[in-house]
Amino acid sequence: MTGPFHHRIFHFRPSRPRHLLGRIAFALVGVLLALLLLAGSVFIGLGMLAWHFGRKLRRPAAVPAGAGVIEGECRVLEPRALPQRTAPGR
């Protein structure tokens, strides 16, 4: 890419404020923004955990199965409801 703006685009470096209070203010804004993002992610994570455990507590307890029983859920379908596959070439 060559052109009159090539040098400006790829070598752009924003200048830092020269005033001491300006530097401190920008540093504080950056730290506060990082803390805000961290606190937000912690609260979102805690909300996800609370949602998970709240749903888990509302489910009814499972009845223990007898010895030698493999538990599972299944749905019985009528044979006509299953998709029919035909062999190729027939």
Domain that holds residue 37: 28-60
Does residue 56 fall inside a structural domain? yes
Q: pTM for the complete prediction?
A: 0.47
**Maximal CA-CA distance, the chain:** 85
Domain count, the chain: 1
Question: What is residue 75's three-state secondary structure?
Answer: coil
pLDDT at residue 2 in the model: 59
Does residue 6 fall inside a structural domain? no
Alpha-carbon distance of 72 to 64, in angstroms, equals 12
pLDDT at residue 66 in the model: 80
pLDDT at residue 89 in the model: 64
pLDDT at residue 46 in the model: 96
What six digits make up the tokens of 32? 């506060």
Alpha-carbon distance of 39 to 33, in angstroms, equals 10
pLDDT at residue 1 in the model: 53
pLDDT at residue 41 in the model: 96
Averaged in consecutive runs of 10 residues, what is the pLDDT profile of the chain (90 residues)?
Answer: 61 76 91 97 95 87 79 78 67
Cα distances (Å, whole numbers) of residue 18 to 24, 25, 49: 11, 12, 46
